[in-house]
Amino acid sequence: MIKKTDLSIIVPVYNEELNIGPFLERLELALSSINVNYEIIFALDPSRDRSEEIILEEIKRNTNIRLLAFSRRFGQPAATIAGILNCIGDACVVIDVDLQDPPELIIPMYELMQTGYDVVYAKRRTRNGETLIKKLIAHVGYFLINKFSDVKIPRNTGDFRIMSRRVLEQLRALNESHGFLRGLVAYIGFKQTFIEYDRDARFSGRGNYNRLVGSLKIGLNGLISFSSKPLFVMSITGFLLAGASFLLGGWYFLQKILGFNLTPGLSTTVLLISFFSGVQLLGLGLIGEYVGRIYDEVKRRPMYIIDKKINFNDDFK
């Protein structure tokens, strides 16, 4: 018989050997203070360091720790969804292992959930250890997503949050392949609130993805996955540019009728061709992003493939 589990902790991991021990020390201390039955699920992309060996050693020490190891690197969003689909807790926390998000914050998040909330997410008041470019991209990204998206995603948030079992079941039912968790949770709705905190710098090591490209990819994923408005914007842009070209043609015609030659030819032609070519490529790229997502959904390939499950005794995905 499976022991009732009050709280599941989902921890995506990739090359984090120096952070696992300190993370567990703080996490277990926090969990002991709220007196819950818990499980800690490490969702591990195959790592080049000793992350897997360290997790296996920790399982021997604490039987509440579990390991999902994937057949190859599928990325953090897929690892997070895998943990969610394999957890058995009445509630679930998603948190990174690098200690940028303090495990101690789980205590007030869990207590706030007990007052009737289905989701309590952590909102970043400050973002220590992040570059100005990263902060700027995040600010612009959230602005664009909330401007165009049909779903309002809270600003300055990540995946760090606690969710009730009925939210987890709705995530399971959605079965989408992009894995943009904060967007999916916002789409599901129910009663949600937040706790503000100051985000720390990484405890050890460097981030495991290109910060600039990774941030742009996440932002674009959030924008494309939850709205078709960018396509409408491109249509309006095309209409306006077509109108501008007619006006420009009228201006050239008027000069010809009046016998003036006020407009330089070559530079204007090069400028217009370059501008319209850029707009066309932008439009094609935008359409390509939508078509690519349709392609991914139609194929229905799994988001992840599990190589092994250690210390599980259930039949979840």
Domain of 170, CATH number, reads 3.90.550.10
Q: Name the residue range of residue 152's domain.
A: 7-211+301-310
* pTM of the predicted structure, to 2 decimals: 0.69
Residue 315 has what pLDDT? 47
Q: Are residues 56 and 150 in the same domain?
A: yes
Q: Is residue 315 in a domain?
A: no
Given a cut of 50, is residue 200 above it in pLDDT? yes
Q: Which of 221, 229, 214 is nearest to 292 (CA)?
A: 221
Q: Are residues 199 and 243 in the same domain?
A: no
What are the pLDDT digits (tens) for 102-155?
Answer: 889 999 999 898 898 988 988 887 766 565 666 665 666 666 666 666 667 777
Q: Are residues 88 and 129 in the same domain?
A: yes
Q: Are residues 14 and 113 in the same domain?
A: yes
Give the confidence band of 210 by pLDDT, cuts at 50, 70, 90: very low
Q: Is residue 159 in a domain?
A: yes
Provide the β-strand partners of residue 41: 10, 66
Domain count, the chain: 2
Q: Are residues 72 and 205 in the same domain?
A: yes
Q: Are residues 26 and 164 in the same domain?
A: yes
What are the pLDDT digits (tens) for 232-269?
Answer: 566 666 666 666 666 766 666 676 676 666 555 555 66
Q: Are residues 32 and 142 in the same domain?
A: yes
Q: Is residue 220 in a domain?
A: no
